[in-house]
Chain A
Amino acid sequence: MGPLDLLALSPPGWGATLLAGLWNSLLIAVGAFSLGLVLGGLGAWGKIHGGPVTRDLLAMYTTIVRAVPELILILILYFGVTDLVNQVLIAFGHERIQISGVAAGITVLGVVQGAYATEVLRGALLAVPPGQVEAARAMGMPPLLMARRIIFPAMLGLAMPGLSNLWLIATKDTALLAVVGFGELTFATRQAAASTKAFFTFFIAAGVIYLILTLLSGWVFARIEAWARRGEPRNAGG
């Protein structure tokens, strides 16, 4: 069979398997990125406005997660979270459950993303000109409205390059779940390659898919950044 037959969508080809893997990868990347943003937002808020204990705990969280390889965090959290949930369930007299790969993957990668997002969002939050916040407060703007109208739009442009990087890391980190046997794109590729012995065909095809994803996301994030910075003067910051 030629390379195109191997990549065909119908059964003798493995195209459908690869696309199913891609769908899983995207699902986990989007989920982990969103969870990371929520954790990162809370973390950034805590690091700036929290008490001393909160700040120290958050510093430990970001330091540990950024010093230990993702693969090991994935294994610790993967086994640990599954175990913990089951022990709680058994303690309350329920049956043991199998946590789905997608849920575990999103949780684990989300916690990792959260540590990096904390730093990105903290930097962006600190870079919002304090005069604008003070002005809003002086006008009697309620905190939520101020967050929505003043802080968030000012942060967005500053945070976009960092967030774009994080999204790319999220898409590439989904590949690590292949090591725990979760059927995302890299795992599907390896399966296809191992059973057909056409290693180059499949690994290069998967590489092209990842590359298209990366280039496409880079373009989308650049558009969002341009939109978020639309009110800023052209020459600010080069």
Chain B
Amino acid sequence: MRGAEMRAWLQPHRIALGLIGLGLVIWCATTMRWDWLPKYAPMMAEGIWRTIWLLVLSSVLGMALAVPLGLAQAAGPWYLAAPARVFCTVIRGTPLLLQIWLFYYGLGSLFPQFPWIRQSDLWPILRQAWPYALLALTLSFAGYEGEVMRGAFKSVPRGQLEAARAMGMPRHLILWRIWLPQAVRAVLPTLGGETVLQMKATPLVATITVVEIYAVASRVRQDTFIVYEPLLLLALVYMLLAGAIVLLFRQIETRGPQVRRPG
């Protein structure tokens, strides 16, 4: 397998393409301006960290919301299923940028009107931009993944749930031991792609003054009037992040118990 893989990479046209690519990288490194890099490197590291932190937190919280949303739509009574469906439709039907601005400018202008909010201990946090960014990203991820989880819950064979019920298993135990693990298992391959999409959504929060990696690159552009170099570096950073996410999910997928599907 390894040998075959190596040979696939060593085809003549791939070597040629690789050399052209290498040439481009060297050309970029030597003829473009990178003298700003040492000065802004610490800021960029901080920005990358903030991007990762926003991505991880919003994905985890969003997923925690998506499970009940999916469950309500797949098996809930109508008074739970209908609101869950409306929530998912609204989130998926409007641009994320609009949602972010609605929360930041809308809630941000509403809160200061109430003295009891201004005097509360939460006010120093609510005055900053990141809670609104996190809220918008979390709800967005929940909306998309709620729809995915609905399909996943429905994909678990009914016979298994019936068997568990016949064995007298309590309902929460059925969910915890039979239903949820298989739904999550079914959703893992999709989830990797969805997390990459979520990563691609994070630069939008720079428009409400959250200083993540995209905002740092914009700052470099404004300070130094260098246009392409920060953007190219930014594209590289996001590609590496996307690669890391894909590899991480592939690891998780191979680590879990293997599903044996009947022919």
| Most chain A Cβ neighbours within 10 Å, of B93, B106, B200 | B93
CB contacts (< 8 Å) of B126 on chain A: these are none
CB contacts (< 8 Å) of A57 on chain B: these are 17
Residue total for B at the interface (Cβ-Cβ under 8 A): 39
Contacts beyond the supplied A75-B231, A215-B89: 15 A-B pairs with Cβ under 8 Å: A53-B17, A56-B14, A56-B17, A67-B242, A68-B235, A69-B238, A70-B200, A72-B234, A176-B95, A179-B97, A200-B106, A203-B106, A207-B102, A211-B94, A214-B89
Taking CB as reference atom, which chain B residue is nearest A215? B93
CB contacts (< 8 Å) of B92 on chain A: these are 168, 214
A residues whose Cβ falls under 8 Å from a Cβ of B: 52-53, 56-57, 64, 66-73, 75-76, 79-80, 168, 172-176, 178-179, 186, 189-190, 193-194, 197, 199-200, 203-204, 206-207, 210-211, 214-215
Q: Does A76 lie within 8 Å of B97, measured CB to CB? A: no
Q: Does B228 lie within 8 Å of A76, measured CB to CB? A: yes
B209 to chain A, nearest CB (A): 13
Q: Find A71's partner among B17, B106, B214 (CB 8 Å cutoff).
A: B214
- Distance of A66 Cα from B96 Cα, bound (Å): 18
Q: Does A67 lie within 8 Å of B97, measured CB to CB? A: no
B210 to chain A, nearest CB (A): 14
* Top 8 closest pairs, chain A to chain B, by CB: A175-B95, A214-B93, A67-B242, A203-B102, A69-B200, A199-B106, A172-B95, A211-B93
CB contacts (< 8 Å) of A172 on chain B: these are 94-96
Taking CB as reference atom, which chain B residue is nearest A207? B94
CB contacts (< 8 Å) of B243 on chain A: these are 67
Taking CB as reference atom, which chain B residue is nearest A63? B239
B44 to chain A, nearest CB (A): 14
Q: Find B203's partner among A72, A211, A214 (CB 8 Å cutoff).
A: A72
B41 contacts A by Cβ under 8 Å: no
CB contacts (< 8 Å) of B238 on chain A: these are 67-69, 72
Q: Given A172-B94, A179-B97, A215-B93, check contact A72 B105 (CB 8 Å).
A: no
A32 to chain B, nearest CB (A): 14
Taking CB as reference atom, which chain A residue is nearest B90? A211
- 6 A-B pairs whose Cβ atoms sit less than 8 Å apart in the complex: A57-B17, A68-B239, A71-B204, A72-B231, A75-B231, A207-B99
CB contacts (< 8 Å) of B188 on chain A: these are none
The B contact surface, by secondary structure, is: helix
Q: Does A76 lie within 8 Å of B106, measured CB to CB? A: no
Q: Does B228 lie within 8 Å of A80, measured CB to CB? A: yes
B residues whose Cβ falls under 8 Å from a Cβ of A: 11, 13-14, 17, 89-90, 92-99, 101-102, 105-106, 109-110, 196, 199-204, 207, 214, 227-228, 231-232, 234-235, 238-239, 242-243
Q: Does A69 lie within 8 Å of B98, measured CB to CB? A: no
Q: Find A210's partner among B95, B110, B235 (CB 8 Å cutoff).
A: B95
Taking CB as reference atom, which chain B residue is nearest A70? B200
A220 to chain B, nearest CB (A): 14
A7 to chain B, nearest CB (A): 16
CB contacts (< 8 Å) of A69 on chain B: these are 199-203, 214, 238
Q: Find B232's partner among A76, A174, A178, A215 (CB 8 Å cutoff).
A: A76
- Distance of A168 Cα from B95 Cα, bound (Å): 10
Q: Does A53 lie within 8 Å of B239, measured CB to CB? A: no
B173 to chain A, nearest CB (A): 31
CB contacts (< 8 Å) of A211 on chain B: these are 89-90, 93-94
| Most chain B Cβ neighbours within 10 Å, of A186, A203, A215 | A203
- Distance of A210 Cα from B92 Cα, bound (Å): 10
Q: Does A210 lie within 8 Å of B13, measured CB to CB? A: no
Q: Does A67 lie within 8 Å of B101, measured CB to CB? A: no
Taking CB as reference atom, which chain B residue is nearest A187? B97
Q: Does B102 lie within 8 Å of A200, measured CB to CB? A: yes
- Distance of A207 Cα from B58 Cα, bound (Å): 22
